Amino acid sequence: KFLVPKGYARLLSDFEDFYTRRLYSRIRDCWSRPVCSAPGAYIDVMLRDVINYGEELRINGKTKRCLNLGSYNYLGYADVPGGVDDQVLRVLDLYGVSPCGTPNDTGYTDVHARLESLVAEFLNRPAALVMGMGFATNSQIIPSLVGPGCLILSDELNHASIVVGARASGAKIKIFRHNNPVDLEKQLRLAIAEGQPRTHRPWKKILIIVEGIYSMEGEICPLAEIVELKKKYKAYLFLDEAHSIGALGHSGRGVPEYWNIPHSEVDILMGTFTKSFGAVGGYIAGSLELIEHLRNSAPGCLYSSSMSCVCAQHILFALEQIMGRDNTHIGQQKIVRLRENAIMFRRRLIELGIQVYGDPGSPVIPIMLYPPAKIAAFSRECLARGLAVVVVGFPATPLLLSRARICLSAAHTPEDLEFALHVIEEVAELIQIKYNNKKMIEM
């Protein structure tokens, strides 16, 4: 259930087509702005001629240093203080930038092997595989898990990469209401009673797919209830931890650790390296049989070049710190700092009278702007004051649920966050996004 201003409730369902026709050309200015630095606590953002909203946006070449609340740099590994780790530079010298081959031929190196075994160890699972892109990990792996005659139960807010993978699989897809185990059970029961289309035979396999933290809502998945249901209905569970791995749980081991549930309760643990590890790529962790099956059958594993070794080594560097293998407490301190930053920032935004979605421990904090007209204004006014934010609108959100998605980082200092709160308060007053709680209704 979401809080929305009363007057918007009906519009939410009625006017999407009408309003969205020209939306993108008007607010394109907020997206795809070139960044000219590492996505650390601060970024250099390229300034454009913001007067012209049409096709011909002119890049004037100037940059502005901004506090960065936009990048998914949860643990601050996107910009390592003191420069890139020596081992990463050594790997760049020895292996070059690209492995120039697929994992089944020359593209699999000892760096990949070490990374896969460390990921498996981190998640306390027998095996893991890594791929060069998080999106491809979902879209390529799901079709190798289920196919025609199988059933997928997918949370309605699952990421596009899951949607693409689910559709490509040929399995029957049923959507259940976001983070709602009661609706999940209702859908499971109905689907099991009906069986496969036409033949009414039992489903060959049932796969439930959920995310750890939902990236547009900042909400954490109720894993215990979902694990219970998957057991009760003999289904498999696929958990996408793109935003929760590294960021949740006292040692960064994600949603299972956050809810104190053994990782072995989740059949397919998926995650990306783009967020907490400051790198790119994705992983799957699970049983030996699962990983062997995927290595030998998923087209994205068989026919796509492996992750860059440089990237794999950077992830190893981050993961070793997170696991305390470097004999320092740096990784653990980052996890604690991120949690403190997230809890404090959310609380202070609420105290300012700003509507935010999501759960307290989540480093993703959506600030609700509601009508699309506020999107460009919020982004531009923040930028003018030295704050880089990501704004999101339709079709990534329902039309009247536009928002700014704040991503906090362990790299943000208390002073950085005070500055950000000051700017947000000023902009919120200016563009009027403080909504009175008494005038909100639940949708």
Q: Which of 71, 23, 139 is nearest to 394 (CA)?
A: 23
Q: Which is nearer to ligand PMP, 272 or 409 (CB)?
A: 272
Min separation Cβ 56 and ligand PMP, Å: 29
Inter-residue contact 162 to 240 (CB < 8 Å):
yes
Min separation Cβ 78 and ligand PMP, Å: 13
Inter-residue contact 269 to 241 (CB < 8 Å):
yes
Pairing label, strands 206-211, 236-240 = parallel
Min separation Cβ 352 and ligand PMP, Å: 27
Q: Which is nearer to ligand PMP, 203 or 259 (CB)?
A: 259
Q: Which is nearer to ligand PMP, 23 or 133 (CB)?
A: 133
Min separation Cβ 72 and ligand PMP, Å: 7
Q: Which of 397, 399, 389 is nearest to 349 (CA)?
A: 389
Phi, psi dihedral angles at 153 (to 5 degrees): -105, 115
Min separation Cβ 435 and ligand PMP, Å: 27
CA distances from 103 to 87, 108, 257, 293, 361 (A): 22, 5, 31, 14, 37
Which positions touch ligand PMP (CB under 6 A)?
Answer: 133-135, 138, 159, 161, 211, 215, 240, 242-243, 272, 274, 282
Residues 116, 122: Cα–Cα separation, whole Å: 10
3-state helix, strand, coil in the chain (%, to 5): 40, 20, 40
Q: Which is nearer to ligand PMP, 146 or 364 (CB)?
A: 364
Min separation Cβ 322 and ligand PMP, Å: 18
Q: Which is nearer to ligand PMP, 4 or 294 (CB)?
A: 294
Q: Which is nearer to ligand PMP, 362 or 377 (CB)?
A: 362
53 residue type, one letter: Y
Phi, psi dihedral angles at 408 (to 5 degrees): -90, 160
Q: Which is nearer to ligand PMP, 272 or 355 (CB)?
A: 272
Q: Which is nearer to ligand PMP, 163 or 323 (CB)?
A: 163
Q: Which is nearer to ligand PMP, 239 or 433 (CB)?
A: 239
Min separation Cβ 363 and ligand PMP, Å: 13
Min separation Cβ 135 and ligand PMP, Å: 4
| Burial (CB count within 10 angstroms: exposed 0-12, middle 13-18, buried 19+), residue 418 | exposed
Which one-letter DSSP state was computed for residue 65?
E
Q: Which is nearer to ligand PMP, 80 or 133 (CB)?
A: 133
Inter-residue contact 85 to 314 (CB < 8 Å):
yes
Min separation Cβ 9 and ligand PMP, Å: 28
Inter-residue contact 239 to 226 (CB < 8 Å):
no
Q: Which residue is nearest to ligand PMP (CB)?
A: 134
Position of tokens 């994992």? 103
Cα R_g (the chain), whole angstroms = 22
Inter-residue contact 383 to 12 (CB < 8 Å):
no
Buried b (16+ CB within 10 A) or exposed e, 106-140: ebbbebbeebbebbbebbebebbbbbbbbbbbbbb
Strands (E), 319-411: 364-370, 387-388, 390-392, 402-407
Min separation Cβ 10 and ligand PMP, Å: 30
